[in-house]
C-alpha cells in the first residue's frame, strides 16, 4: 500500500523547499472594502484588512474555523516532464484559490487571486533579485508567485511535496490579503538585523502552517498518506533550514512543528505565529 523504503522516501521528499519573501510593497493596500450597499446582507460584512500589528496578531482569519475540503484532482507529475509539472502546479493553484476564497469570505476579507509565473532562470521582480537558495517566491509588489522549473524538481517528483511548496507561496499571498505582509514590510523597515530575522521566521512559519492547513483539505485527492506526510515532516526536521544562509525561515524542527500544527487542526487558527513564544519560532 504505497509504502516505500525510507531511502526512497527521503529522496522523494528531498525537494521540499520553501521560499524567501521580499515584501517591499507597504502602503499600497488593496482597493477592496466596499461598505454598505444593497441586496442580501452577507453573513460577514466585507471589510478592509486590519492594519498594523493587529493584522498579524489578531486577524479575523484566525476565527474562520476549519479550511474546506476541496476537490483537487491535480493529476501526477511525470518524471522529467516540465509540462506535467506546470500543469500539476497550475491545478494546485486553482484548488488553493477555491479554498482560500471560501476562507477569506468567512473572515469578511476581500479576495483576489495571485498571478502565477513559471521561470527557468533566476528572474528579478519589483521585489528585487531572485533570493539565493529559493525554489520560488512571492512578490507582494505585483502579487506574483514565481515558481522555478528545474531539473531537480523533475527528477523524483512527489505530488504532495510540490503541493505543499505551492501552498506555501500561496500562503504569502494570503498574508498579503490579511494585511500581514504590509505590517511585515513596515515593521522590518529599518529594524535591527536580529529583529528582522525573528519577524521573517514568524512570517515564513505562518506560511508553512497555512499551507499545511490547506493540504489537509486536499490530502485525499492528492493521495497523501499518513506515511508520506510523516516522511515529509521528518525530512523537514532534518533539512528544512539547510537551504537558507541566514535563519530567516526557522529551524527544521520549527518548520515541522508549524506544518504539523496546521495539518492536524486544518485551520488558520492554529497558525498565529505572531503571538507564539519565541522558542516555537526559533
Least Cβ distance, residue 200 to Zn ion (angstroms): 9
CB-side exposure of 44: number of CA atoms within 13 Å? 17
CA separation for the pair 46, 111 (Å, rounded): 10
Is residue 153 part of the contact set for Zn ion (CB under 5 A)? no
CA separation for the pair 248, 11 (Å, rounded): 25
Least Cβ distance, residue 83 to Zn ion (angstroms): 26
Least Cβ distance, residue 43 to Zn ion (angstroms): 31
Least Cβ distance, residue 49 to Zn ion (angstroms): 19
Name the residue with the smallest CB distance to Zn ion. Answer: 19
Query: Based on CB atoms, which residue is closest to Zn ion, 87 or 187?
Result: 187
139 forms beta bridges with 144
Is residue 175 part of the contact set for Zn ion (CB under 5 A)? no
- Which element (helix H / strand E) includes 257? helix 252-265
- Are residues 16 and 164 in contact, defined by beta-carbon separation less than 8 angstroms? yes
Q: Which three cell numbers stand for residue 271?
A: 497558525
Contacting range for Zn ion; rule: CB under 5 A; set: 18-26, 84-92, 105-113, 219-227: 18-26
Q: What is the size of the binding site for Zn ion (CB under 5 A)?
A: 5
A 10 A CB-CB count for 277 gives 7
Is residue 19 part of the contact set for Zn ion (CB under 5 A)? yes
Query: Based on CB atoms, which residue is closest to Zn ion, 83 or 132?
Result: 132
Side-by-side strand order, sheet with 144-148:
115-119, 144-148, 136-139
Least Cβ distance, residue 138 to Zn ion (angstroms): 7
Contacting range for Zn ion; rule: CB under 5 A; set: 15-23, 91-99, 105-113, 272-280: 15-23
Q: Which three cell numbers stand for residue 28?
A: 499600497
Query: Based on CB atoms, which residue is closest to Zn ion, 108 or 135?
Result: 135
Query: Based on CB atoms, which residue is closest to Zn ion, 207 or 271?
Result: 207
DSSP count for the chain of H helices, then E strands? 9, 3
- Are residues 148 and 166 in contact, defined by beta-carbon separation less than 8 angstroms? no
Closest alpha carbon to 60 in 114, 96, 106: 106
Least Cβ distance, residue 19 to Zn ion (angstroms): 4
A 10 A CB-CB count for 249 gives 26
Contacting range for Zn ion; rule: CB under 5 A; set: 10-18, 90-98, 99-107, 251-259: 10-18
Least Cβ distance, residue 33 to Zn ion (angstroms): 27
Least Cβ distance, residue 20 to Zn ion (angstroms): 6
Query: Based on CB atoms, which residue is closest to Zn ion, 204 or 237?
Result: 204
What part of residues 192-231 is at the interface with Zn ion (CB under 5 A)?
A: 204, 207
Handedness of CA 212, 214, 217, 218 (dihedral sign): negative
Helices (H), 65-192: 82-107, 151-155, 159-178, 180-188
Q: Which residues bind Zn ion (CB under 5 A)?
A: 18-19, 21, 204, 207
Amino acid at each position: 500500500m504505497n509504502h516505500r523504503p525510507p531511502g526512497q522516501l527521503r529522496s522523494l521528499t528531498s525537494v521540499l523547499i520553501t521560499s524567501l519573501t521580499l515584501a517591499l510593497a507597504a502602503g499600497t493596500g488593496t482597493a477592496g472594502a466596499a461598505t454598505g450597499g444593497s441586496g442580501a446582507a452577507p453573513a460577514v460584512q466585507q471589510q478592509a484588512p486590519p492594519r498594523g500589528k493587529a493584522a498579524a496578531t489578531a486577524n479575523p482569519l484566525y476565527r474562520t474555523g476549519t479550511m474546506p475540503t476541496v476537490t483537487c484532482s491535480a493529476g501526477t507529475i511525470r518524471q522529467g516532464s516540465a509540462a506535467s509539472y506546470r500543469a500539476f502546479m497550475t491545478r494546485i493553484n486553482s484548488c488553493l484559490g477555491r479554498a482560500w476564497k471560501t476562507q477569506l469570505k468567512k473572515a469578511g476579507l476581500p479576495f483576489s487571486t495571485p498571478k502565477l509565473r513559471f521561470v527557468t532562470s533566476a528572474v528579478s521582480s519589483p521585489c528585487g533579485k531572485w533570493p539565493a537558495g529559493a525554489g520560488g517566491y512571492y512578490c507582494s509588489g505585483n502579487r506574483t508567485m514565481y515558481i522555478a522549473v528545474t531539473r531537480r524538481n523533475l527528477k523524483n517528483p512527489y505530488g504532495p511535496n510540490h503541493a505543499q511548496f505551492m501552498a506555501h507561496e500561496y500562503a504569502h499571498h494570503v498574508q498579503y490579503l490579511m494585511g500581514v505582509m504590509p505590517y511585515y514590510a513596515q515593521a522590518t523597515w529599518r529594524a535591527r538585523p536580529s529583529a528582522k530575522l525573528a519577524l521573517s521566521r514568524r512570517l515564513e512559519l505562518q506560511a508553512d502552517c497555512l499551507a499545511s492547513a490547506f493540504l489537509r483539505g486536499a490530502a485525499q485527492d492528492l493521495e497523501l498518506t499518513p506515511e508520506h506526510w510523516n516522511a515529509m515532516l521528518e525530512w523537514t526536521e532534518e533539512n528544512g533550514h539547510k537551504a537558507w544562509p541566514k535563519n530567516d525561515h526557522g529551524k527544521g524542527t520549527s518548520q515541522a512543528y508549524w506544518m504539523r500544527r496546521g495539518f492536524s487542526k486544518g485551520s488558520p487558527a492554529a497558525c498565529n505565529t505572531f503571538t507564539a513564544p519565541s522558542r516555537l519560532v526559533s
